[in-house]
Structure 1
Amino acid sequence: MRSAADVAAMPCPLCRTGLTLSDRAGVEIDYCQTCRGVWLDRGELDKIIERSVREAAPPPQETPRSSPGYRPHGYHRDDDYRYRPDKRKKSFLSELFD
């Protein structure tokens, strides 16, 4: 593990300003605050890929309805897309770059 002083001594390959070290979910990320470039050390990309594969497990199977002919008499229908919750799972990568 490197110290913040070691990283600050490393210049950004694009704009030559000092890099900043950030630990995100166990992965050390070197980034430039000026050009917003991100650099990873050896093995860090492998950690990100491994974690994203683990989180991309297949979704659980839906249980069948007990009475398929029953429809509740409410204000909206079950098949109306406007009333469905957003079922997208947040990616591990969204936590890295917040």
Structure 2
Amino acid sequence: MKCPIDGTALVIAERSGVEIDYCPQCRGVWLDRGELDKIIDRSVVQAPPPPPPGRDMHGGYEDQGYRKKKKRGGFLEDLFDF
């Protein structure tokens, strides 16, 4: 199959059981019917909400190590790492 943007031959990659057609030139991604649903189903993670911050003795909020953490790559990053 050819890229509809620039006519380059598409490359097929399989990630987590999903076939992804992508163009190595323009980096466009094309999915067949149902493949987006598979990606969405596999990307949903049920994580509990973080605990509320505690109060210190003076009525203010204590520092409990809540620092902005570097965003870790997720399922979609692993899926589209070409």
Fold agreement, TM-score > 0.5 = yes
How much does 1:89 deviate?
5.4
- Structure 1 runs (4+) greater than 6 angstroms displaced: none
- 1:41 corresponds to: 32
Q: Is 1:86 aligned with 2:69? A: yes
Counterpart AA for 2:27? R
Counterpart-to-counterpart distance in 1, 2:64 and 2:41? 37
Aligned residue pairs total: 74
- 2:20 corresponds to: 29
Identity among equivalent pairs (%): 57
**C-alpha root-mean-square deviation of aligned residues, in Å?**
2.9
- 1:11 corresponds to: 2
Query: Secondary structure, in 3 states, of the residue corresponding to 2:7?
Result: coil
Query: Secondary structure, in 3 states, of the residue corresponding to 1:12?
Result: coil
Greater mean deviation of Cα atoms: 85-94 or 12-21:
85-94
Residues 52 and 34 of structure 1, relative CA distance in 2, 3 Å threshold: same
Higher helix share: 1
Structure 1 gap segments, 5+ residues each: 1-9, 70-77
Q: TM (normalized to structure 2)?
A: 0.70
Q: Is 1:58 aligned with 2:47? A: yes
Q: TM (normalized to structure 1)?
A: 0.60
Structure 2 gap segments, 5+ residues each: none
Query: Secondary structure, in 3 states, of the residue corresponding to 2:36?
Result: helix
